[in-house]
Copies of this chain bind each other. A is one copy, B any other.
Amino acid sequence: MNGAPAVKVTYREAVRAAMREAMQRDARVFLMGEDVGRYGGTYACSLGLLDEFGPERVRDTPLSEGAFVGVGIGAAIGGMRPIVEIMTVNFSLLALDQILNNAATLRHMSGGQVGVPLVLRMATGAGRQVAAQHSHSLENYYAHIPGLKVLAPATVEDARGMLWTALLDPDPVILFEHATLYGTEGELAEDAGAVPIDRAAVRRAGRDVTVVGYGGTVAKALEAARMLAERGIDAEVIDLRTLRPLDDETLVASVRKTRRAVLVDEGWKTGSLAGEICARLVERAFYDLDAPIARVCTEEVPIPYPKHLEDAALPQPGRIVEAVLATVGGRG
């Protein structure tokens, strides 16, 4: 941000640094979830934190997703700043009642009295052959809920900085960490700090088509853009970053320029967040569009175990390229 030396870190390290610094900075912050302590986190995100902060602040829970998320809500109301980790989005359904009916709703139904400054983190997504029950991308379930903010850090900078901002927020914030990102590396300033959580980012500027992704699909969109560049098509790639509230302004500005859009989403196509983005662009930029907006989403099938079928089910750079080519159509 301000010229401090940049170092190479993994996404996992960025998440860990973010949690560590938050706990150092603010005595009210604590981490709670399944195997965050002794085990070090399923994805090793909290490795070492138990030693540094002790079992009260790095709190292993039993397998009770509904209750420990509810406990996090109560603790937030009671003045703490909990980071609650749900191991993966797949298990978050067991806590969805607490998230929707309490975390998101208490402020409103109490007439503004009860705020819930809770931060929820969870791994999301497919791509590791863990099959039908462990490969969900349910971000749109959460993006649907008024009262929540929903983030999807796709870079090491966002992994580190969004958690900071989220912890400053007086309302519940959910962070989706795509499981395939933990091992990825990026450059990060040593003193990297908070980042805004209400803006999408243009990850690659381009003139011919807008490709929108988030979380695990950003890298795929960028890869597609590289492939398209070879064919002389200049794609703009937008990383949504924040899934609720959506940054209409950045989206609309891009589409006004490119007049075409392809939306990439690892959710199943029907009922995906990509559908919402499409509807918003239609509402706000219909007359700027030169071609139908296209979606590249996950096929309508529970994720199969074998690699070739899993790959075929998920959005891939090749499918994004195809969709862009169809969109730019006659032009190509």
Interface residues of A (CB under 8 A from B): 66, 90-91, 93-94, 96-97, 100-101, 104-105, 108-109, 131-133, 136, 140-141, 143-147, 244, 246, 267-268, 270-276, 278-280, 282-283, 286-287, 289, 291-295, 300-302, 304
Residue of B nearest to A134 (CB): B101
Known A270-B276, A276-B270; judge A302-B108 contact (CB<8 A). Answer: yes
Residues of B close to A286: CB separation below 8 A: 289, 291-293
Residue of B nearest to A90 (CB): B101
Is A294 in contact with B302, judged by CB distance below 8 angstroms? no
Residues of B close to A295: CB separation below 8 A: 279, 283
Q: Give CA–CA (A274, B283) in the complex, Å.
A: 12
Can you sample 20 A-B contacts with CB below 8 Å?
A93-B93, A93-B100, A93-B101, A108-B301, A108-B302, A108-B304, A141-B144, A141-B271, A143-B271, A144-B268, A144-B270, A146-B270, A147-B302, A244-B270, A246-B270, A278-B279, A282-B282, A282-B292, A283-B294, A286-B289
Among A289, A294, A302, chain B packs the most CB atoms within 10 A around the CB of A302
Is B145 in contact with A132, judged by CB distance below 8 angstroms? no
Residues of B close to A104: CB separation below 8 A: 302
Q: Which of B268, B273, B275, B279 contacts A145 (CB 8 A)?
A: B268
Is B109 in contact with A140, judged by CB distance below 8 angstroms? no
